[in-house]
Amino acid sequence: MKKIIAIALACLLLISAAACSSAPSATPTPSAKAASQKLVVAHKGDPGGLFAQTIANSTFNGPIDYLLYDPLVFYDNESNSFKPCIAEKWEQVDSTHIKFYLRRDVYAHDGNQIKAGDVIYTLKTGQESNKVASYYDRFDLKECKAVDDYTVIVATKTPDPYLFYTLSGNALGIVSEAAVKAGGGPDAQQTKPTAGSGPYKFVSWERGSKIVLSRNDKYWGGKPYFDTIEIRIITDISARMMNLESGDVDVVLDPDVTQAKTMLGNSKFKVDNIKTIASNMFLMNCSKPPFKDVKVRQAMALALDYKSDVEVSMKGFGYVTDSIFANAHPAYAAPDGSYTNYYHYDLAAAKKLMAESSYPNGFTFTLKYTETAIYPALAQLVQNQLAQIGIKVVLAPTASTVFYTDAAAGNFDMYLAAPSFADPFSYLNFFDGRVSFQKANGGCGWQGPEELYTLIDKAKVNMDEASRKEMLKKIQAIINTNVPALVLGSQNRVLVAKADVQGIKYQVNGDIILSRASRK
């Protein structure tokens, strides 16, 4: 974990050799074969849109965004380092300004060249949309400027030790301003994107059916292997696996873990099981009763059988967590006994706290969740276990388009999500009472003590790894004690594919890079 944090600082302070070298391909792939090749990928649902700067974050977008767009820098999970992408090198000007030197051979899918002004336009569009504030709000637009066509200064409002994680994310794909305007503006780009420079170009989108992308033969990073990638929308989790077994698809994203487990050892298929930094969080709306009562929240945390729930729901494709940050997260600090941690199973203690709370006879609330593979199982487990302390949970599976809108509006009692921000302060927006539901794209509406906000503000700009980790440890202690969210394990990124598909890569947050895939 120290290594991951060190990498971010290394990039920021320019002690990474990659920043000073000529830019390698961001998506190195085997040479394409002469015969036409198509990769068919089974996906759980339609994305919220195809212009990442102006939509609330959706777990359905990641694999597609990385095909259509390139960020300034690329995170290489295998080497735990940041590599040049649209930016071929960079240098630190001061603690809040970085100068990026852009490649001169990067073109949007409509033919417009990507230049420094497009970087400014991307940051401005993302910030003004206010849909992905956890990424874009950190930039000081007045200080960002294009030095010339291929040199741009990116400025942040404060020193940011995790900036490069943000810059490499799918929400920070750079777009051509000219292409956006010629294509009808940001709204039109949501359904017919032309402004990205990624390895694949948009062809068509039949909602509820499929998204078709074609290879960008002029891609600066080298020609991808597959001529076409078809993202097939199959919402039924069992049907996705059935389509793989029948040969209709090549790759299944978010498979049923029970079905995935049966594929282990089958020579016709391969199962990727990648540990991630995501946490399954049940975020409570602490801005209203009954979740304003800390004893209620603590009792609920103690009523969950964490080990059993992870085993039952994840089938060996995940691990137990005991803090708001998953154990694999770079900011994670193991509970050390210096505070009371409620993320463990103790039914007797849970009943005692409920009896002492404002709701000794229990209450009823609604739990919202999306179509993600293990969410129904997790929701049912929580429903059953909270019933033991007199709490009735009404399960409300919700379409993703409605779900994310409701989360950002604070329209929920509790919702289940699995945030996977590498930047811990993007996570902490969920627990910072000064950040609105809209700005955090959800959260819990909990008002913490002033000590928490002081620590967050100081840690956010602290470039010293050791002292920042101590601050993050204290932050976790305060939040874990007050339990504004239940944390129930971290599910690994699971992917099942035909055995001849190779080269699929993963980001630190579990996002999938399909553009490097090929066949044996």
Contact 16, 80 (CB under 8 A): no
Written as one letter, the residue type at 344 is H
C-alpha span between 276 and 318 (Å, rounded): 9
Lowest mean pLDDT among 58-62, 114-118, 132-136, 400-404: 58-62
Given this model, what pLDDT does residue 33 score? 52
Whether 87 shows a pLDDT value over 70: the answer reads yes
User: Which residues are CB-contacts of 302 (< 8 A; sequence separation ≥ 6)?
Assistant: 342, 344, 345, 346, 347, 349, 350, 353
Give CA 119 to chain center in angstroms: 22
C-alpha span between 73 and 71 (Å, rounded): 5
C-alpha span between 488 and 318 (Å, rounded): 10
C-alpha span between 349 and 299 (Å, rounded): 7
- Average pLDDT estimate for 57-79: 86
Lowest mean pLDDT among 33-42, 262-271, 299-308: 33-42
Residue 7's pLDDT band (cuts 50, 70, 90): very low
Give CA 164 to chain center in angstroms: 15
- Can you list the positions of beta strands (E) in 350-440? 363-369, 391-397, 414-417
Contact 427, 419 (CB under 8 A): yes
Residue 8's pLDDT band (cuts 50, 70, 90): very low
Whether 239 shows a pLDDT value over 60: the answer reads yes
C-alpha span between 118 and 112 (Å, rounded): 10
CATH class for the domain made up of 281-491: alpha beta
Q: What are 97's two structure tokens?
A: 């300004």
C-alpha span between 397 and 194 (Å, rounded): 34
Residue 26's pLDDT band (cuts 50, 70, 90): very low
- Average pLDDT estimate for 124-130: 91
pLDDT digits (tens, 9 = 90+) for 446-501: 999 999 999 999 999 999 999 999 999 999 999 999 999 999 999 999 999 999 99
Given this model, what pLDDT does residue 5 score? 37
Which part of the chain has CATH 3.40.190.10? 2-253+493-519
Written as one letter, the residue type at 394 is V
Output the CA torsion 159→162→167→168 (10° steps): 160
pLDDT digits (tens, 9 = 90+) for 314-327: 999 999 999 999 99
Contact 233, 216 (CB under 8 A): no
Given this model, what pLDDT does residue 58 score? 63
- Average pLDDT estimate for 293-312: 97
- Average pLDDT estimate for 263-270: 95
Give CA 420 to chain center in angstroms: 4
Gap between the terminal Cα atoms of the chain: 34
3-state DSSP: the chain helix, strand, coil percent, rounded to 5? 35, 20, 45
Q: Within 13 Å and on the Cβ side, how many CA atoms surround 511? A: 28
pLDDT digits (tens, 9 = 90+) for 409-429: 999 999 999 988 889 998 999
Q: What are 181's two structure tokens?
A: 């305007």
Give CA 327 to chain center in angstroms: 16
pLDDT digits (tens, 9 = 90+) for 283-298: 999 999 999 999 999 9
Given this model, what pLDDT does residue 508 score? 76
Given this model, what pLDDT does residue 30 score? 53
- Average pLDDT estimate for 328-348: 95
Contact 81, 7 (CB under 8 A): yes
Contact 350, 389 (CB under 8 A): yes
- Where are the alpha helices (H) located in 56-153, listed in sequence order? 62-68, 116-129, 133-136
- Residue with the bigger pLDDT between 509 and 198: it is 198
Tell me which residue has tokens 């051509």.
Answer: 176
The verdict on pTM exceeding 0.85 is: no
Pairing of strands 151-155, 145-148: antiparallel
In CATH terms, the fold of domain 2-253+493-519 is D-Maltodextrin-Binding Protein; domain 2 (3.40.190)
User: Hey, is 398 helix, strand or coil?
Assistant: coil
pLDDT digits (tens, 9 = 90+) for 194-229: 999 999 999 999 999 999 999 999 999 989 999 999
Tell me which residue has tokens 């206010």.
Answer: 130
Given this model, what pLDDT does residue 62 score? 83
Which part of the chain has CATH 3.10.105.10? 281-491
